[in-house]
Chains A and B, each alone.
Chain A
Amino acid sequence: MKRLKLITAFAGLATVVFGQGALDNSKLLKPPTTDWPTYSGDYTGQRFSPLKKVNDGNVQNLSLAWLYRINAPGATATVFKANPIVVNGVMYVTIPDHVWALDARTGREIWHHVHKSEGGIHLGNRGVGISGNWLYFETPDCKLVSLNLKDGKERWQKSICDLDQMYYASTAPIIVKNHVLVGVSGDDLDIPGYFESRDPETGELQWHWSVVPKKGEPGFETWPNEDAAAHGGGMTWGTTTYDPELNQIYFGTGNPQPVVAGKSRQGDNLYTASIVALNPDTGKLVWHFQPSPHDTHDWDNNQVPVLYDGEINGQKKKLLSVACRNGWFFTLDRTTGKAIVSKEYVKTNWAKGVDAKGQPIPNPDKEPQFAGALVSPNQGGAANWPPPAFNPATGLFYVNAARAFSVWYLYDTDDKPEGWGGTDRGGWSESMLQAIDYKTGNIKWSHKWEGSGGRSGLLTTAGNLVFAGDTTTNFVALNASTGEPLWHANVAAPVANAPISYELDGRQYVVVGAGDMLFGFVMYGK
């Protein structure tokens, strides 16, 4: 709060004219109302808005308030995959190398920052992190950049990965206390994954956690040798959630490398394709759970670990649930990492069952083969980066899912496969929005979309709604209890990010990205 007052005093003009101002970081600890101050709205990853001015009784009156379209000549990835952040009436949104500040009431552009790129894969950018009056974002050329919220002027930039090893950076930084938490991407040169904490004032390294353990460390025994471990992958491009009471952060790790041809990395390959809990102050591993031991299907486990308090067998528990790319849903005790529920949320064909820890046991016959193996899910997975949502009122975990088949082939005949060494081809898929009972993993309701393809992230609200993109170009509101579609708008391109909601001047807004457009919907009237 001290910082907020300070900024208000020194930057009063900007606050009045643009409605800008520093983030009171204590807002990160509460469900979002007038702001959407971090990737998931708050630290829980629930993407739950307590707002209910828009609800299952009136959502049909939701109106378009504004439309913003990217104007960035020369940009190479003009799709809004980023999660917008809203602080004090200003929205901050990105595509690779670009950050915009928009008026959250009107969509009017306030400033536009362009990062001069030195290369890297421009696949997408997940958004910004904000602490006080500073903004942080990652770039494809491996930079963590800090900007001034007020005007988008650069404060500093620090390298967080190595372009020459084909790393790139796309994650939305998460701010926990005095830590800027950053992850990295890169899946082609058999490189080690890691996760870092950076100083919010200087960008200097505070701690570095290697996804794959080194010789002598616990978990190393799941690799055949040091060379395999040193090139073992496990990227950290998902988002992070945080429990301040336990002082633990949670995130998922990516697939091991070589990606598809796994013969030179026999073993479970910890801590790739895992959910991990770390101490945010030290970067020390607290626990892990591995949904895809020895993954060979590119099933990154970077899906959002969602935190909530629930009841299991009459006992209150601190829980964590994930709907994984491999088609399995898990509910864990987030204090210990012990599995409570392990269950498919779409039908799959790659696991022989679960082990004593609740982890699926891969069927070796469904590893990629030179002559092909028919596997479900496909490479895209049953879920991917678009975030799920959890509604405390319904007790349901929502995920926009796909049930898909493809044939997995080994290509690399070398004694030491490198890179991918194979891939999947072809496919058939169907798409559905699954509402999962966190206590059992049972599907409470399933809304099957017509056709297949595009899937969006989700938002759920106290108005008993789930907002989602369908497989075409519709932005849809469904009844959170029953799955009945209640409202839609054709937004002219597949929904490309996850919706957010915030209230300004007593009006509830719902904002979603589709293609190169951001749509701001609002509920007018009382």
Chain B
Amino acid sequence: MSKADNKRSIILGIFVLVGIGILFAAIFTLGGQQNRFAKKVEIKAVFDNVEGLKTGNNIWFSGVKIGIVKAVHFRDDRKVELVLGIDDKSHEYIRKNSTAKIGSDGLIGNKIIVIEGGSTDVPPVESGDELRTLKGTDTEKMMSTLQVNNENLVGITENIRQLSQKVLRGEGTIGAALTDSIMANNMRTMMASLTQAATNTNKVTAALANFTAKLNTQGSLANELLTDTVVYSNLRAAVAQLQGVTQTASALTTNLGQASEKLNTSLSSPDNTLGLLLSDKATATTIKQTMVNLEASTAKLDENMEALQHNFLLRGFFKKRDKEAAKAKEAEEKAQQ
């Protein structure tokens, strides 16, 4: 073998060695990091539904990765049995009464097994033990509960809509009371007068402003008039009268406010005829029931919201939900009037 051949062989040897070294380093890093080579304690957990969890998924305990799922297979009773490979050095922290549930790594991440709880007076798990399992936050179930709520809410809204329509058409006792009332007629008249008064006041004020502007113009007739004391005192009297008119209008508004307040109290108080009608009749009961239902569903909704609020996939759903809630509230207010 010549010198060149020798040199070539040496360089090639180094090249190949380093190349294979890179592969080996990768394999060992990978193995070490994913703990493929570490000694494992194998325990079991049985679930009705593993939600797409597969071999190789991580197992967390208090947020620390302590192993991987080694096998997923069906049992005779069609439940899914998981074999969990727990790192030898971590298994002592898992107690025989710890529980396992299925969670997810991040918002849209892989499925993981989350092990929780366990009391210190219970011995650590051993190979072959079966952990108790909890139902995790099953997204699908959450969605179906929400769907039922949604349907309920639609029913409620429909009821309220029908009710308010009846009220508007003057059907039923409340409707009649509300529509036929003399008070309502009076109120309408009152409102018309008030509007008239306000319009007049406006006109007067405008005229006054115009007049004042003319007063300020030097050499005009009005300016000259102003120097005349007689005319001036007349003018002052006119302004005072105008003020009086404005005060009267303001008193009228106050009265009107009181009247509407009285109307309000009469509606809620059972002493009043109108109030009596509302609180005693079956319709009133229905409304009350409606309110209760609504409250209950809102509470349920709150719970679900809490569970789902961060899940951006459901964000669109919640927006829709908000809109519907607003609609329902509107209808409720309508019914109360």
A and B co-occur in one complex: no
